[in-house]
Structure 1
Amino acid sequence: MAEHMVARSIVIDAPAKRIFDLIASPGKHPLLDGSGTVLKAVSGPERLELGSEFGMDMRMMGLPYRMTNRVVEFEENRGIAWKHVGSHRWRYELEELDGEGTRVTQTFDYTWGHTFFYMMSGAPARNARSIEGSLRLLKREAERD
């Protein structure tokens, strides 16, 4: 794994399409957020595609803020990534396993800018815990009947 990335994977007992549809819907992101910072979608399409922009109301350490993201990678049912003005990327990769569900890998990539701040603030360890929580929530939502 690259030095300035944090990634975790999980196997979900659901088809890639069901999982991807959840991830590609900004309105569902608060249900899938393991960090507790995503409050609600405030702008953008119901379903993301390459180039889509979407805004989220957020809260961190008690302080509200708004984040606008743009989808920079998109492959239907296989992968999606978005970035904000700080150029950090959140990426989901989906791999259907032969009759064994779908492996989902979520990556936070902070290669582009502010790496020193992120490393010194302990953000990589926090991001890892948040990603693990997000993947558990995604699994719960995708495996619902």
Structure 2
Amino acid sequence: MDTQHRRVVVERLIDAAPEPIFDILADPRRHHEIDGSGAVGRPDATAPERLHLGAKFTTRMRFIPTDLAPSTFLQISIAAVHLGKLTNTVLEFEEPHRIAWCNFGRHVWRYELHPDPVAPTRTLVRETFDYSTNLLPELIELVGFPDRNRESMQASLARIAALVTGAAAEA
């Protein structure tokens, strides 16, 4: 964890070109398929079919705790306050290389896609949870979100890899 800058970064080399990976990331109707935390549900009916710079999309959030971790209870509390929905705004959109969004907490979820220079049909995918801009970064750390999100992000990248390659996702 990069505590100085309050960023969590995970990477994975995926056997696919950047375009099909970006297509999944740019489709908010598929975010529940790639979410490794299990907290993101299907988007509401107002979600665009494809994101763009400045686009807003709202997803449902998990209401039922899956464990007794402090981060779980904070996430459930946020879901309750927001009536089970969370609206995000796309902050960065450079097709097919970068996409990022944030919600009311102001932390940023970013995906960067870098084609492998040796094998252009492989892509290094970097996912970043940047909470340096969060309203309460100390709370994010106190409840353990950085470590918990690292695990979820690794699972998300495995799900993306499975979707674009047709392989089964790793457990």
Give percent identity, aligned residues only: 37
| Whole-Å separation in 2 of the counterparts to 1:25 and 1:69 | 13
- 2:124 partner letter: R
TM-score relative to the length of structure 1: 0.94
The structure 1 segments of at least 4 consecutive aligned residues displaced by more than 4 Å after TM superposition are none
- 1:123 partner letter: F
2:21 paired residue number: 19
Residue 86 of structure 1 aligns to a residue whose secondary structure is coil
Matched, 1:47 2:50: yes
**Within 5 Å, which residues of 2 pair with 1:1-145?**
1=2, 3-42=5-44, 43-62=46-65, 63=76, 65-98=84-117, 99=119, 101-112=122-133, 113-144=135-166
| Whole-Å separation in 2 of the counterparts to 1:135 and 1:57 | 21
RMSD: 1.5
Higher-strand-fraction structure: 1
Decide which moves more: 94-103 or 67-76: 94-103
| Whole-Å separation in 2 of the counterparts to 1:84 and 1:11 | 28
Instruction: For structure 2, list consecutive stretches of 5 or more residues without a partner in the other structure.
Output: 66-75
TM-score relative to the length of structure 2: 0.81
Offset at residue 60 of structure 1 (A): 4.8
- 2:123 partner letter: T
| Whole-Å separation in 2 of the counterparts to 1:105 and 1:95 | 8
| Whole-Å separation in 2 of the counterparts to 1:61 and 1:128 | 21
Instruction: For structure 1, list consecutive stretches of 5 or more residues without a partner in the other structure.
Output: none
2:68 paired residue number: none
| Whole-Å separation in 2 of the counterparts to 1:142 and 1:5 | 26
State how many pairs are aligned: 145
